Structure 1
Amino acid sequence: MLDISWSGWKWSPSLLAMTTLAGLLAGYYWVWSRSRFVRLIDALPGPKTFPLLGNVLDLLKYSTDRRLCVDWIKQNGYIFRVWIGYYPAVHVSHHELLEQILSNQNHITNPIEYKLIFPENCLGVLAGDEWRHRRRLLTPAFHFKILDGFASTMNEKSMASAAKVEEILGPSAGSKEIDVFPIMVKLAFDVLYETSMGMNTWSEQDTNTYAESLEGMEHIFMERVVRKPWLRIDWIYKFTSLYRKQMQYSSFFNNFTEKVIRERRELQKRNAAEKHSSPQPVLNNNNVDEEDMLTRPKERLALLDLLLKISEENPELDDKVIGDEISLFISAGYDSSSVAITWFLYLIAKHPEHQKLVTDELDLIFGDSDRPVTAQDLTRLKYLECCIKETLRLYPSLPLMARYLTEEVQVGDYTLPKGLTVLINIYMTHRNPEVYPDPDAFKPERFLPENCIGRHPYAFIPFSAGPRNCIGQKFAMLEIKISLANILRRLRFSHSDMSGPLEISTMQLTFKPKDNQCKLIVSKKIAQ
C-alpha cells in the first residue's frame, strides 16, 4: 500500500481522500454561509441555531408546533427565520406582510415539499403557466350553479348523520357523551364520495381505510419536512419503513381512483348507448344552455363526470391526472369540512349562549319542519355564518401553508431572496390582537357586517387568499353551512367542563382534535 509521509505522519489513500472531502465540504460551507442568500435570511430575527442542525432540536422538544410558533412570535415578531438543518424558512404571520406575497401574481409557486404529500400531477404541485392552465380548466367544475346542484347531497348526508346520532342516543329524551369527530369524518366522506365520484355512499371500512391512509401521509410529510429533515434526501428515505408505508398508501389511492374512473367510463358508455337507442324528445330550442343542463336534478354530474367531459377537448387530462385531482379534492375537502364542523360543535358546546342564538335563528326559519335547506335559507342564516367564520378563525383546518419565491421580494423591512420557502402562519394571523382584541376568545359578533368594516382583507384567510386561493372554498362553506344547519335543527350540544379553557389540539399538517377531545354531551332537540 502506498503511504504518504509528512512530518512523521503516514497518510493512507483512504484517509487522504476523507480528509480532502472534509476540506472541500468545509470550504463549501464557508462560501455558502457567506453567500448573499444566507446573509439576507440571517438578517431576519430568529431563534438561536446550532451548526448543521439549525433549529431541529427546538422543533423536537415541543409537543405541538402551535406552542412553538406562539413562543417564537413573542420572541421575534411577526416575521422571522428558522433553519431546519440547511433548509431555511421564513415565518410570516402579519396580514400586511403576507399580503405582499399572496397577492402577487408572481408568487404562486408551492414549495417542492408539497410533492412529498400531494399527488404528482395535481393542481397543488403545479407552478407557473402549468398551474394557470390547469386552474382555468378546472374552474368551471366549481361554478356556483354546479355547487348548488350538490346541495341535495349535502342535505341528505347531514340529515343522515343527525339521524345516526339520534340512533346512538336511543328512544329516551336523555343525553349521552359522544365523540362527534368520527361521525363528522363519515359525513364529509359521504358528501365527497357522491359529489366527486357520483357514488351514493361507501362503507365505514372504506372510510376508515381512506382516512387512515391520509393521516399516514400527513405523518410521513411532517417527519420528512420538520422532524427528520435528512429524510428529504430520496436515496436515504427509500431505505426507511416510512417509504414502504408511503408506497402502500399511494398504491391504495391509485387503485381506488383507477377503479372508480374505469367504472364511471363504463357507466357513461352504457348510458350513451341506451340514450342512443331510445327515442329522444323534440326540443323547441336546439341551443340548450350547458350550465342549465348540468344543474338539472336528473342529469346532475359529479366532479368526476365534469373532468371526464373536460378531458374530451383537453387530452392532457388523462386518467392519471383526473385521478390525482380527485384524490386532492377528497383529501382537502375531508379535512376542511370535517375538522371545521367538529370544532364548531365543540365551541358552541362550550358557549351555550351562542348556541342558543344559532338555534333560535334556525327555529325562526325552519320551525319544526324537516325540509331541506335551500339557497334562500342560506342567505338568512347570518348568525350561523358568523359562528362558522369565528370557528375558522380560531381553528383553521390548515394552520400553515407555504410559498416558494421564484424571485426576490421586499417584505416589510427585509429582502427575501429567490429560492426561499415562506411559511404563511394562518393560525397566528387570525389571532393578531391588533385586529381581533381578546384573540383567543370565541366571539362570533366579530363577523357581523358592521364589525367587519375596515378590516384588512388578509386578516382572515382560512382558505388562503390571492390568485392561488383554494379552488374548493365555496364548496367547503356550502357543505359546512348546510350540514350544521341540519344537525342543529335536531340536536343540542354541551361539554362536561363548561368553565375550563379551550384545549390545544395536536397539529400535524392539519388542525385535528386530540383523541376524545371532542367528546360532547349530546341531546335531542325538545319539540316546541
Structure 2
Amino acid sequence: MMRYIAPVRMLAQYIPMAASNYMGKNVKEFTKELMVVIPKYIQAALDHPENGRVFADIIGSELLPEEEKTMYRLSGEGFGLLAAGTETTAATLTVITYYLLAQPTAYSRLLAALKGVDPLNLKWTDLEQRPYLYAVIHEALRFTPGATHRSSRIARDEDLVYTSKDGQVRWVIPRGTPIGMTSVINHSNEEIFPDPDEYTPERWIKEGQPNYALEKSIISFGKGSRSCIGMQYVKPLPFIVLASKI
C-alpha cells in the first residue's frame, strides 16, 4: 500500500510511536525500527563520522544532494539495507528447511552431497562445487523472489523492440516509458520451469553439474546495473548455514 499510494507513504513519517502501539505488532516493530533505532545510528554517524559507519559515508558523499540527506530519507535507506540483508536470507532458509523435511528424498541426497564436509572448517570454494547443494539453494531462490512487487525500469535513450517467438508480432516501447514485471511471474513460467509449483532441485543439475545456464532466468537479485548490491556477499550464506547445520 505504501509503495503504490504516495499520500500514504508521505503520511507514514508522521505516525507517532504511540499510535503504532494500536496498529498491531508488526506495524509497531516496523515503526520503532524506522523512527527510533535507525535514526540513532544516523545520529551516531553525524556525531562521530570517524567511526567508519555507512551513514557517515553517505552523509559526506557529494553524490547525494543535500536536500535528500534528511533523517527520514536516510532512515528509509537504512531500513532497506536491514530488510534486504535479513528477511530475504531468512525466507530462503525457511523454504529450504520446509521442503527438505517434507521431501525426505531431497534431504537424503543433500546429506550425501555434503559427505566429508567439516562444519568447523568450511570452505566456500569447496561448497560451491557440490552440485546438489547448489541445486537445493537455487530452487529455494526461485520460490523466494526477494522483492515481490514490480521492479520498474526505464530505457531513457532508446526505444525497446520486442518480437514474438513466432516472429509474427513486433512491439515497440517508446523510450522513457516505465515498464516492469514481478519476479514471481518469471519464476512461475512453465516454459522455463516445468511444474513451477513443485520444489525440484534436480532441475538445476545438468549432466551431473550445476545448470548455470538456468541462472539467467532467476531474478531474485534483480538484473543489470540495478541488481542487488549485496548479492555476492549474501548468496554464499545459505551454502554455509546448510553445510554447518545438516
Q: Give the number of the structure whose alpha-carbon radius of gyration is greater.
A: 1
The amino acid across from 1:332 in the alignment is A
* Contact 1:402/1:424 (8 A) holds in 2: yes
The match for 1:328 is 80
The match for 2:37 is 256
The separation in 1 between residues aligned to 2:57 and 2:217, in whole angstroms, is 38
Q: CA deviation at 1:310?
A: 7.3
The match for 1:392 is 141
The match for 1:486 is 244
* Contact 2:142/2:218 (8 A) holds in 1: yes
The separation in 1 between residues aligned to 2:40 and 2:110, in whole angstroms, is 42
The match for 1:135 is none
The separation in 2 between residues aligned to 1:252 and 1:454, in whole angstroms, is 38
Q: CA deviation at 1:394?
A: 3.0
* Contact 1:458/1:465 (8 A) holds in 2: no
Kindly tell me: are residues 266 and 389 of structure 1, through their superposed partners in 2, closer, same or farther at Cα, counting changes over 3 Å? same
1:227-306 mapped onto 2 (5 Å cutoff): 231-232=5-6, 234=7, 237=8, 243=11, 247-248=15-16, 252-263=33-44, 305=53
The match for 2:190 is 433
* Contact 1:258/1:319 (8 A) holds in 2: no
Q: CA deviation at 1:461?
A: 1.8
Q: CA deviation at 1:341?
A: 0.9
The normalised TM-score by structure 2 is 0.70
The SS at the match of 2:87 is: helix
The separation in 2 between residues aligned to 1:264 and 1:245, in whole angstroms, is 21
The SS at the match of 1:221 is: coil
The match for 1:179 is none
Question: Which of 349, 360, 365 is matched with 2:117 structurally?
Answer: 365
The match for 2:228 is 470
The amino acid across from 1:416 in the alignment is I
The amino acid across from 1:441 in the alignment is E
1:413-452 mapped onto 2 (5 Å cutoff): 413-418=170-175, 420-448=177-205, 450=207
How far does the alpha carbon of each residue in 1:89-142 deviate from its partner, in whole angstroms, 9 at most, with x for none? xxxxxxxxxxxxxxxxxxxxxxxxxxxxxxxxxxxxxxxxxxxxxxxxxxxxxx
The separation in 2 between residues aligned to 1:402 and 1:267, in whole angstroms, is 36
The separation in 2 between residues aligned to 1:452 and 1:363, in whole angstroms, is 18
The match for 2:132 is 383
The SS at the match of 1:440 is: coil
2:171 is equivalent to residue 410 of structure 1: no
Q: CA deviation at 1:463?
A: 0.9
The separation in 2 between residues aligned to 1:305 and 1:371, in whole angstroms, is 31
Q: CA deviation at 1:267?
A: 6.8
The separation in 2 between residues aligned to 1:326 and 1:349, in whole angstroms, is 35
The separation in 1 between residues aligned to 2:85 and 2:205, in whole angstroms, is 26
How far does the alpha carbon of each residue in 1:311-363 deviate from its partner, in whole angstroms, 9 at most, with x for none? 66x34566857654432211222231111111111111111111112123334
* Contact 2:117/2:243 (8 A) holds in 1: no
Higher relative contact order (CA 8 A, sep 6+): 1
The SS at the match of 1:365 is: coil
Question: What is the aligned length?
Answer: 219
Q: CA deviation at 1:486?
A: 2.5
Kindly tell me: are residues 246 and 419 of structure 1, through their superposed partners in 2, closer, same or farther at Cα, counting changes over 3 Å? farther
* Contact 2:42/2:55 (8 A) holds in 1: no
The separation in 2 between residues aligned to 1:267 and 1:335, in whole angstroms, is 29
How far does the alpha carbon of each residue in 1:36-91 deviate from its partner, in whole angstroms, 9 at most, with x for none? xxxxxxxxxxxxxxxxxxxxxxxxxxxxxxxxxxxxxxxxxxxxxxxxxxxxxxxx
How far does the alpha carbon of each residue in 1:355-378 deviate from its partner, in whole angstroms, 9 at most, with x for none? 112123334212xxx515333443
Kindly tell me: are residues 417 and 340 of structure 1, through their superposed partners in 2, closer, same or farther at Cα, counting changes over 3 Å? same
Q: CA deviation at 1:387?
A: 0.3
Percent identity between matched residues is 20
